[in-house]
Amino acid sequence: MTKKIGFFVGSLRKGSYNRAVAEAMAKLFPADLVTEFVDLSKLEMYNQDLDDKGKPTVAWTAFRTQVQDLDGVVFVTPEYNRSVPAVLKNALDVGSRPYGESVWDGKPGLVVSVSPGAVGGFGANHHLRQSLVFLNVPTLQQPEAYIGNITNLLNEDGTIVEGTVSFLQSIVDAYVAFFKKNSQ
């Protein structure tokens, strides 16, 4: 049976380094795991009043349905001000509500942070992991994936250099083993 792994990219920028890394990673998954990208750009900011009135937005409902149908989740994120970008945190919030109906529950996760800086988005990586603990997303602990100095890891056409692709393959392989061990 084919399983679906959803990719959540924390950068909406057209030339996003995180998108480039996520796209490179998606190609490294085995054939029995289908990857799909979840668009975060259309999600309105979460407002509990709408759920309390039974009137979630169309975008929230579509997002919740799409995430519910996933078997695993991969987050590729930049670091904004030592934390997670608002678009990604909002996606976590939208998917976790209404209370008791979280679409994240039990889905094996992977966190990869990407940055032009030397520390590779360490703060965002760990802040995201804190939220995933609360959401009951078991997350691959090792190997850790902080991709620093990303601008030095790109070919002229914007693709990821071979040595980094090999590192990404080791991350994907570890996640696949973790996913198979922890999927419901």
Each domain of the chain, given as residue ranges in start order, spans 3-182
Q: What spatial distance separates the first Cα and last Cα of the chain, rounded to whole Å?
A: 13
| Cβ atoms of 106 and 40 closer than 8 Å | no
Q: What is the pLDDT of residues 96-113, one digit of tens each?
A: 999 999 999 999 999 999
| Cβ atoms of 174 and 67 closer than 8 Å | no
Distance CA 127, CA 119 (A): 14
Which of 100, 74, 101, 68 lies closest to 184 in space, CA to CA?
A: 68
Which helix (H) or strand (E) is 36 found in, with range?
strand 33-37
Q: Does the global pTM surpass 0.85?
A: yes
Pick one of 3.40.50.360, 3.30.1360.120, 3.40.50.300, 2.40.40.20 as the CATH number of 3-182: 3.40.50.360
Digit-by-digit pLDDT tens for the chain (184 residues) are 789 999 999 999 999 999 999 999 999 999 999 999 999 999 999 999 999 999 999 999 999 999 999 999 999 999 999 999 999 999 999 999 999 999 999 999 999 999 999 988 999 999 999 999 999 999 999 999 999 999 999 999 989 999 999 999 999 999 999 999 998 6
